[in-house]
């Protein structure tokens, strides 16, 4: 016995019932990205994404989708700038990263391998505070035995060496 089955037709390619097609602005525009809900109307809500937090996957390069197609991410606090076409220069979207706030900058010496950073933590050359929040999260996730050291300072060597004694840091 055949059962009554109700089916809905598959959408045809290009048939987007939920979001209208993106319309390129006719003039220069810019805004600071805080959330997709707060984005202006000229931003396609389908660009919403996640890259170390809420982000916009902004088209980089050709805005018409001709290959090669690639994106760049705008994170919370970054500025998204649309530059309209002028003469032979095509329209483009640019992401200008925000300046990091206090406590967000890593003070670890440049060009260090993860193992070298862990050794510097164990020896007291740097502390968890020198790494910034992303650096602490990476160390804690990669080396569970160092998680308490980077999060609370527990287990740190008694004789700390200041990072500024090892590497010149301009503030």
Express each pLDDT in 76-110 by its tens digit. Answer: 999 999 998 888 888 888 999 988 776 666 666 66
Of 79, 97, 89, nearest in space to 40 by CA: 79
- Find, among 148, 141, 149, the residue nearest to 122 by Cα: 149
Q: What is the pLDDT of residue 105?
A: 62
Whether residue 122 sits in one domain with residue 85:
no
- Number of domains within the chain: 2
In a domain, 135, yes or no: yes
Helices in 47-168 by DSSP H: which ranges? 114-123, 128-142, 147-152, 163-166
Domain end (from 68, 96, 124): 96
Q: Is residue 66 part of a domain?
A: yes
Q: Are residues 79 and 122 in the same domain?
A: no
- For residue 12, is it within any domain? no
**Three-state DSSP state, 51:** coil
Of the pLDDT bands very low, low, confident and very high (cuts 50, 70, 90), residue 65 is low
Q: What is the mean pLDDT of the chain?
A: 78
Lowest mean per-residue pLDDT among 48-52, 73-77, 131-135: 131-135
pTM of the model: 0.52
Residue 16 lies in a domain: no
Q: According to the model, what pLDDT value does residue 22 have?
A: 77
Full residue range of the structural domain in which residue 58 is found: 29-96
Whether the CB-CB separation of 120 and 112 falls below 8 Å is answered with yes
pLDDT digits (tens, 9 = 90+) for 114-152: 888 888 888 888 888 777 787 888 888 888 888 888 888
Confidence of residue 8 (pLDDT cuts 50, 70, 90): very low
Mean pLDDT for 3-25 is 57
Nearest to 46, CA basis, from 27, 26, 65: 65
């Amino acid at each position: 016995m055949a059962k009554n089955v109700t089916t809905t037709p598959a959408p045809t390619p290009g048939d987007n019932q939920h979001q209208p097609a993106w319309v390129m602005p006719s003039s220069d525009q810019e805004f600071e990205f805080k959330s997709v809900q707060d984005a202006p109307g000229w931003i396609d809500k389908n660009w919403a994404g996640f890259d170390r937090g809420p982000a916009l996957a902004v088209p980089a390069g050709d805005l018409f989708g001709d290959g090669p197609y690639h994106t760049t991410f705008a994170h919370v606090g970054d500025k998204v700038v649309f530059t309209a076409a002028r003469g032979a220069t095509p329209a483009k979207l640019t992401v200008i990263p925000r300046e990091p706030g206090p406590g967000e900058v890593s003070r670890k010496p440049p060009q260090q391998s993860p193992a070298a950073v862990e050794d510097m933590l164990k020896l007291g050359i740097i502390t968890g505070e020198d790494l910034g929040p992303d650096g602490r999260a990476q160390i804690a996730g990669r080396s569970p035995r160092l998680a308490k050291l980077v999060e609370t300072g527990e287990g740190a060597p008694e004789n700390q060496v200041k990072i500024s004694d090892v590497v010149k840091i301009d503030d």
